[in-house]
Amino acid sequence: MSISSLERYQRLGTKLILFITGFSSSSWAVVVPYARVNTGVNEATLGTLLLCLGGGALLAMPLTGYLTAKYSCKKVIRASVWSIIFSLPLLSLIASPLLLAAALLIFGTGIGITAGAINIQSVIVEKKAGKPLMSGFHSMYSCGGIAGAGLMTVLLSAGISISVATAFISVVVIALLTISQKGLLTESCHTEGPTFAKPKGIVQWMGIICFSVFLAEGTVLDWSAVFLTEIRDVAESNGGLGFATFALAMTFARLIGDRVITGLGAIPVVIGGALIAAAGFVLVLFIPDWKISLAGYALVGLGCANIVPVMFSAAGRQAVMPASVAIPAVTTMGYLGVLAGPAIVGYVAHFSTLPTAFICISVLMILVSLMTLKTRSVMAGRTCSTESGT
């Protein structure tokens, strides 16, 4: 079935904004060491400052339902992306810890609102298409993450200053935002019911699943290098191979995810994905060869890749809460896992061992496969209005 030019623009616009979100976030990750030098803070203070970014994102995400209902996805996304454009170069220049905290709060708020609003648009565009599109959309976030970190690394390796590099990143974002404009939804994304509410029923289960999967992703992001260098005796210069392998596998799985979901169905993809991720952590832990550990991280990436996109799609179909409320709620719970996960793993590793913490994450992924049964009615394509979600 052919699609209209408007639908093509909407799909392109959705992909570009998700690309911008990943692109901007990963660009900031490269800036962190420079920000620490500029402000002269120690590791503990830097950790506190970084909470401002995560805190801004988490506080902003629940508001996106209200904002998009009142102003439209286009206006909200445009404003939030411009806050990213202006704040990113400042993060590389600021010498005051207090000013850096304020800039990180603005940057995090921009990221949070952009992520929440574009997920609302993603669900609307997917509904119009009548077929799975969410994994393909979210593959662009992964591609943006790789592109942002890669471009920043190339620019800095070429001797370009950090301030000029971040300014160039902002120029790229302006160009992408401009191209995306025709594809952003101009109508208010309004649905019956409140514009803000705590998740309940089946939406709560979706949020818990997203929290668990994002927790596993955050664990790989922050602890894979530590595991490889300290447990597998890999050189520090190669410590990043774990996350790189994970990220590439996740990107690949998302690029083909829509076709896989169409062919197999959402329920097998989520249950199978969770079990594959659990097996990946087992492989990392119990075979003392760093190359096998990399294969394990690849399995974690493949397994986790399409779980969250499926949950976002399901949040848009359920009937317990308005989609404009459910999607930001599920998104917020998920991103809380990214923030809390590395800290939880750190505490478990401190009081026990890092391998023990990884075992806990593997068990959690098995539990995700069981929790999926609570959302099976919506993932099977039926709306659900019961409180239990069963």
What is the DSSP track for 232-266?
A: S---GGGTTHHHHHHHHHHHHHHHTHHHHHHHH-H
Q: Are residues 22 and 138 in the same domain?
A: yes
Q: Which two tokens stand for residue 180?
A: 């995306």
DSSP state of 63: G
Instruction: Determine contact, residues 91/104, Cβ cutoff 8 Å.
Output: yes
pTM assigned to the model: 0.81
Read off the CATH number of the domain in which 334 is found. 1.20.1250.20
Q: Are residues 123 and 269 in the same domain?
A: no
CB-CB contact of 357 with 345 (8 Å): yes
Q: Are residues 101 and 153 in the same domain?
A: yes
pLDDT digit string (tens) for the chain, length 390 residues: 457 888 999 999 999 999 999 999 888 878 888 888 899 988 778 878 888 888 888 889 888 988 998 899 999 999 999 999 999 999 999 999 999 999 999 999 999 999 999 999 999 999 899 889 999 999 999 899 889 888 988 898 899 999 999 999 999 999 999 999 999 999 876 555 555 567 888 999 999 999 999 999 888 877 888 889 889 998 876 777 888 889 899 999 999 999 999 999 999 999 999 999 999 999 999 999 999 999 999 999 999 999 999 999 999 888 888 888 888 889 889 988 887 777 788 888 888 888 999 999 999 999 999 999 888 877 765 444 433 332
Q: Is residue 300 domain-shared with residue 358, that is, in the same domain? A: yes
Asked if residue 357 is part of any domain, the answer here is yes
* Number of domains the chain is built from: 2
Query: 237 with 263, same domain?
Result: yes
Chosen domain end from 183, 215, 241: 183
For residue 386, tell me if it sits in a domain.
no
Residue 241 lies inside a defined structural domain of this protein? yes
Going by C-alpha positions, the residue among 349, 347, 360 that lies closest to residue 231 is: 349
Q: In this structure, are 128 and 171 located in the same domain? A: yes
Domain around 38 = 5-183
